[in-house]
Amino acid sequence: MAMPNQPNDHLWHQLTAEILTGMRDWRAQHPTATLRAMENELDRRWAAVRARMLQDMALQSAATQWKDAAAGVHPTCPDCGTPLEDRGRHPRDLQTHGGQTIALERSYGVCPTCQVGLFPPR
């Protein structure tokens, strides 16, 4: 079953097309490149697109807004199970497996029992 087009689909297709064009240009400029060099360059380019896709998908997640969520959906402390208290939205930088940094702004909560703050994983 095909998924309906998402807001970022066009951008993701554009970034993928830029990899193809960029790799053709790179290869023309590096005609004696080793297989390892080609692989490294391709991996570097894909890592950037992958990071953008991860960031976009994470920001579409319900976890970005939870303070108005129903009680059964409200994030709880992973240690004691107490519902977290909302502390507003805060930015957070994360590293992908490809070494790229992605920036997420998500709701941040604090457990009133454990006094531990966290970005809920939902």
Domain ranges of the chain: 8-60, 64-122
Q: What's the whole-number average pLDDT of the chain?
A: 82
* Residue 86, pLDDT above cutoff 80: yes
CA dihedral 50, 55, 61, 65 (to 10 degrees): 170
Q: Residue 67: pLDDT above 90?
A: no
pTM: 0.61
Mark out the alpha helices in 4-116 (DSSP H runs).
9-29, 35-59
Q: What is the pLDDT of residue 1?
A: 40
Residue reference for tokens 């703050």? 117
Q: Compute the distance between CA of residue 102 and CA of residue 56 in angstroms, rounded to an integer.
A: 9
